[in-house]
Amino acid sequence: MKTIEDVVLLADSHHGVYIPQLVVQQYLEHPMWDWSKVSKEDIDSVLAGPDNEWYWEAWDDIMCKVKVVDEDGTEYMMMYNEDLWLVPVDISEEEIEQWII
């Protein structure tokens, strides 16, 4: 089982409203990221930037549908805590709650 030490920072809060766009730009072609369940429209909306009317809805869909698995087979979910993090899906809820506080 993974622990809080296995959490990975994707983008810190200084990127603000551009975090979604940054993540799609940087990880769209990354081999650990499976975008197959994400629509092209969602990707295009986020790549267009925060002025796009569908930017935040598309980002919500991406966060729910993209799958991230590392070379060891660990699956991650994206999580906001002012910054954007990759959090192992098998980490305990108690550990996440303690980390957030």
Q: For residue range 2-11, what is the model confidence (pLDDT) as tens digits? A: 766 778 899 9
**Lowest-confidence region among 10-19, 43-52, 72-81:** 72-81
**Entry pTM:** 0.87
Amino acid, single-letter form, for residue 74: T
Mean pLDDT on 63-89: 92
Give pLDDT, residue 7: 84
State what percent of residues in the chain have pLDDT above 70: 94
Number of domains the chain is built from:
1
Q: Print the domain residue range for 17.
A: 4-100
Q: What is the pLDDT of residue 4?
A: 65
pLDDT of residue 60: 96
